[in-house]
Chain A
Amino acid sequence: NFMLTQPHSVSESPGKTVTISCTRSSGSIASNYVQWYQQRPGSAPTTVIYEDNQRPSGVPDRFSGSIDSSSNSASLTISGLKTEDEADYYCQSYDSSNPVVFGGGTKLTVL
């Protein structure tokens, strides 16, 4: 079994750029797609990035995803931060033995 490790929290000012990392403990991060979900308080999660770097329709292009094999991690970058981006963010991936693995989640504060 592998784990996905995220920072517990990050904070940044409106208009700035923030990056949230998701590090895979074993196996290659590039071998299986990574998804990113946004969860606002009191709501179900929604996808902001799927298949490593694809944005669903309706998600602003301020959101982007990437993979770095050298650090075996995925990243979610949000540019031009808005107060409405304040939420919890979760990465998710899988492998042949584990159909679903979630990261622990990162609380983004926009202050």
Chain B
Amino acid sequence: EVQLVQSGAEVKKPGESLKISCKGSGYSFTSYWIGWVRQMPGKGLEWMGIIYPGDSDTRYSPSFQGQVTISADKSISTAYLQWSSLKASDTAMYYCARLDSSSLEFDPWGQGTLVTVSS
């Protein structure tokens, strides 16, 4: 079974750093793009960026370029999303999802990681 399992919920203070993870299993992790999607409370889905773990090629949405860093460690089939200095406005649910290379469909999705940033 193809599966993406994300790290657990985080509560952080403004200014702190954070790295959340997404571990893939059941498929060749290096052969598919992995994307990160933000969903702020009560809002829609926003694409943040994608990474190809095979060569770490990374593309960012213009809205998130410079705000976050996406990386991957293919030796442990894990992708990461990190912040160097969190803001209250980063409070959201973050999903990772595998991107099909032909249809560009996101499937499957991870279960989501809730990040709460509050002083």
A and B co-occur in one complex:
yes
Interface flags, B46-73, vs A, CB<8A=1, else 0: 1100100000000101100000000000
The 5 closest A-B pairs by CB, nearest first: A100-B47, A105-B44, A44-B109, A50-B105, A102-B45
Total chain B interface residues with beta-carbon distance under 8 A: 24
CA of A104 to CA of B40, assembled, Å: 12
- The interface of chain B, by Cβ under 8 A from chain A, is 33, 35, 37, 44-47, 50, 59, 61-62, 95, 97, 99-100, 103-107, 109-112
* Chain A interface, number of residues (Cβ within 8 angstroms): 25
Min CB–CB distance B73 → chain A (angstroms) = 22
CB <8 Å contact, A92 and B106: yes
Closest residue to B46 on the A side, CB-wise? A102
Contact of B35 among A37, A100, A103 (CB under 8 A): A100
